[in-house]
Amino acid sequence: MLAIGCDHGGLELKNEVIKHLEERGVEYKDFGTFTPDSVDYPDYALKVCHSVTSGESERGILICGTGLGMSMAANKVKGIRAAVCHDTFSAEFTRRHNDANVLCMGGRVIGPGLACKVVDAYLDSEFEGGRHQRRIDKVMAIEDED
């Protein structure tokens, strides 16, 4: 399963991405927000990230105005590796090399056509392991520092 969430700045793009997920037949859970009313992005980042860290979802997608606030909040959650991607190369390689488990995008940055290609690159790319696992282990060890 894929967890997806947004704030008001990402609502329109989230709805486009969801249409695309449905066309692809991807199983997803939408954690909101569901209206254009102003909300706080960390609340939605937490819902999606907890779905990933609990094992309910394999990966997540978070969309705010820029993707930046969502990624900052998401990367505070233990076990989350969130990446802001607005191009397909980054989306592919953040899976292959960083094993990113959350993709962040900005609804005020990228259009729906490219965003759906970014989602495809993210979903269709697999982690390569090997030397990249060693580096990720070092990144994740930072979570345990004082």
**Catalytically annotated residue among 49, 64, 85, 116:** 64
Is 42 a binding residue for ligand RB5 by CB under 6 A? The answer is: no
| 97 assigned to active site | yes
CA-CA-CA-CA dihedral for 143, 144, 145, 146, to nearest 10: 110
**2 near 26, Cβ under 8 Å?**
yes
CB of 49 to ligand RB5, least distance (A): 15
Q: Tell whether residue 33 is a contact of ligand RB5 (CB under 6 A).
A: no
Which of 33, 51, 57, 66 binds ligand RB5 (CB under 6 A)? It is 66
Q: Which of residues 68-127 bind ligand RB5 (CB under 6 A)?
A: 68-69
Rounded CA gap, 30 and 14, in Å?
A: 9
Alpha carbon distances (Å) from 104 to 60, 67, 79, 141: 8, 5, 16, 23
Q: Quick check: 5 binds ligand RB5 (CB under 6 A)? A: no
Taking the complex as a whole, the smallest distance from the CB of residue 146 to ligand RB5 amounts, in Å, to 28
Question: In which residue are the tokens 């997608």 written?
Answer: 61
Using CB under 6 A, list all residues that contact ligand RB5: 7, 9, 41, 64-66, 68-69
- Catalytic residues, by residue number, are 64, 97
